[in-house]
Amino acid sequence: MDGVHDIGGRQGFGHVRYARDARAFHTDWEVRANSLYAFAVRRGIFNMDEYRHAIERMEPRHYLAASYYERSLTALATLCVEKGVVTREELEQRAHGAFPLALPSARGRTNASDRERFKPGDRVRVKTDYVPGHVRMPGYIRGKTGVVVSESPVYPFPDAHAHAVEAEEEPTYDVRFRSEDLWPNSADAALVHVAVFQSYLERGG
Amino acid sequence: MADRSSIVRRTASVEERVDAIQAALDQRGMEATGAVDELSHLAQEQWIPQNGARVVAKAWLDPAFRARLLADGRAAVAELGLVLPKHHRHLVVLENTQTVQNVICCTLCSCTAFTIIGLPPDWYKDLEYRSRVVRESRTVLKEMGLDLAPEVEVRVWDTTADTRYMVLPEQPAETIGWSEDRLAEIVTRDAMIGVARL
C-alpha cells in the first residue's frame, strides 16, 4: 500500500528532534499501550504483520499527528474490533468518547510464483509491483537495482501474513543500493541496505 | 441508529482509550492487567541498552567472541543470556571502523533490536528521522552532532523485515586496557543505533 507511512526519502521534513540518550517512555499510558499490544501478539489475537498493517491503515491525518504509542493503541483496538474480541461501541462507552480506529484493509497476496534464489554479488532489481495491501517494500526502492550482500533465514511473507492468506515462508536478501541510484543528484553519498523479500526481487541487468 | 458520522463527539483521550481496551480485555477473562504489569517490567527494566553495551564490551575484549558475533549475532548474544523475540530470527551486527559508519533506521515503522539495544526513543520513531536518514544521511548525522570526515563511508540499514541490526562501535583508544564492566558503562544506545561515536 502506497500509504502515508512510507516516508523514506520524502522531503520537506525538518531537523530531527534529537536529545542525547532520550528516554523510551514518558508516561504510564505509553508503557501500557506498548505492553497491551505485545500481550495481544503473545495471546495470538494478531501477528506482527497484521499489527504493522493496522498502523499503516490509520487515516492519514490521524497517522501523521499521532505519537508512536497512539499508533500502537489504534492498531491494537482496530484489530481487536475486526477480530470480534471487542466492539467499537463497547470501547467508546468505556472511553467516554470517540475511539478512532484504522480504515479497512484491502486484499493480501501470496508469494510470487517466479521466485529465484540469489547469491551474494548478484545484481537484483526490485519489481515494479503496486500492492493494495501490506507490503514491506519501501517505495524508494521500487524498480531500483542493487547488489545482494547476504540471505536471511526464512520469514512469514508479510503481504500474506498480514491478511491471513496462505503462503510459504521465504528469505529476505540484504540488498545494497547506492543512494545515487535511488535519488540521482539528490542524496548524500551513502550505501543504503534494505532487507528485501525474495518475492519482490528479479534478476537485474 | 443515527449515522455515527453525523454525531459530533469529543474524541476520548489516549489515557481513556488505553483504559478502555485494557478493561475490555480484562472483562473477557484475558487477565490483560497482569500481563501488562509483567510486560511493562520487561520493557522498562530488562530490555535496556545495558544489554547491548555488555555485548559490545565483550566484543572489544574477546576477538573470538567478536568473530562469533559478526557471524551469527543471535547465537552470540545468547551466550550472555540475552534473547530476541522469536520473530526476530536474525541479528546482524554491523562493525564500525575508522572509515565506515553504520547507522540503522526503520523508514516504514520503527523496528529495532529492542531487547538488546533498548526500546527506541521518540526521535527514532519520528517522521523526520525516518524520512531523511536514508537520503540525507551525512547531513542528518551532522545535525545530530556527528560530523564525519569526508573519507568515512556511510552505510544506512533500513529495517524492513524482522532481521534486526545493531552497530558495533569502535573502541575509543583511551579505553584500551579497561575492564569489561568499565567498558560497558561507556557504550550508549545512540552509538549502537549509529548516530553517535564514542
Contact present, A168 and A156 (Cβ < 8 Å): no
- The rounded mean pLDDT for chain B is 95
Asked about B105 being catalytic, the answer comes back as no
Q: How confident is the model at residue B144, as a pLDDT? A: 97
B37-46 as b/e: b if 16+ CB within 10 A: eebbeebbee
Look at B22 and A80 and tell me if their CB atoms are within 8 Å.
no
- Same domain, yes or no, for A93 and A145? no
The verdict on residue A66 lying in a domain is yes
Tell me the shortest Cα–Cα distance from A38 to chain B, in angstroms.
8
- Same domain, yes or no, for A18 and A82? yes
Q: How confident is the model at residue B9, as a pLDDT? A: 84
The verdict on residue A112 lying in a domain is no
Compute the average pLDDT of residues A157-173.
Answer: 98
Confidence bin at B7 (pLDDT 50/70/90): low
Q: How confident is the model at residue B1, as a pLDDT? A: 47
> Of A104, A138, A164, which residue is a domain's last?
A104
**Chain B residues closer than 8 Å to A25 by CB:** 43-44, 119
- Same domain, yes or no, for A150 and A70? no
Look at B108 and A6 and tell me if their CB atoms are within 8 Å.
yes
Between β-strands B90-95 and B163-168, what pairing exists: parallel, antiparallel or unpaired? parallel
Compute the average pLDDT of residues B5-24.
Answer: 89
Asked about B106 being catalytic, the answer comes back as yes
- Is the pLDDT at B154 greater than 90, yes or no? yes
Look at A16 and B132 and tell me if their CB atoms are within 8 Å.
yes
Indicate the SS3 state at residue B153. Answer: strand
Measured CA to CA, the distance from residue B133 to residue B99 in angstroms comes to 19
Contact present, B6 and B82 (Cβ < 8 Å): no
Distances (CA, A) of B54 to B23, B67, B169: 39, 16, 12
Q: Which domains does chain B possess?
A: 12-45 (no CATH), 48-193 (3.90.330.10)
- Is the pLDDT at A144 greater than 50, yes or no? yes
The verdict on residue A116 lying in a domain is no
Q: Which three cell numbers stand for residue B21?
A: 481496551
- Same domain, yes or no, for A95 and A152? no
Measured CA to CA, the distance from residue A179 to residue B42 in angstroms comes to 38
The verdict on residue A113 lying in a domain is no
Q: Give the range of the structural domain holding residue A66, as residue numbers without chain letter.
A: 1-104
Burial of B34 (0-12, 13-18, 19+ CB in 10 A): exposed
**Cell numbers 499490544: residue:** A37
* Domain total in chain A: 2
The closest CB to that of B136, out of A70, A96, A187, belongs to A187
Q: Which residues pair with A203 in a beta bridge?
A: A124
- Same domain, yes or no, for A47 and A135? no
Whether this model's ipTM surpasses 0.95 comes out as yes
Q: How confident is the model at residue B2, as a pLDDT? A: 47
- Same domain, yes or no, for A20 and A76? yes
Chain segment B125-147, per-residue pLDDT in tens: 999 999 999 999 999 999 999 99
Q: What percent of chain B has pLDDT over 70?
A: 96
Chain segment A46-85, per-residue pLDDT in tens: 999 999 999 999 999 999 999 999 999 999 999 999 999 9
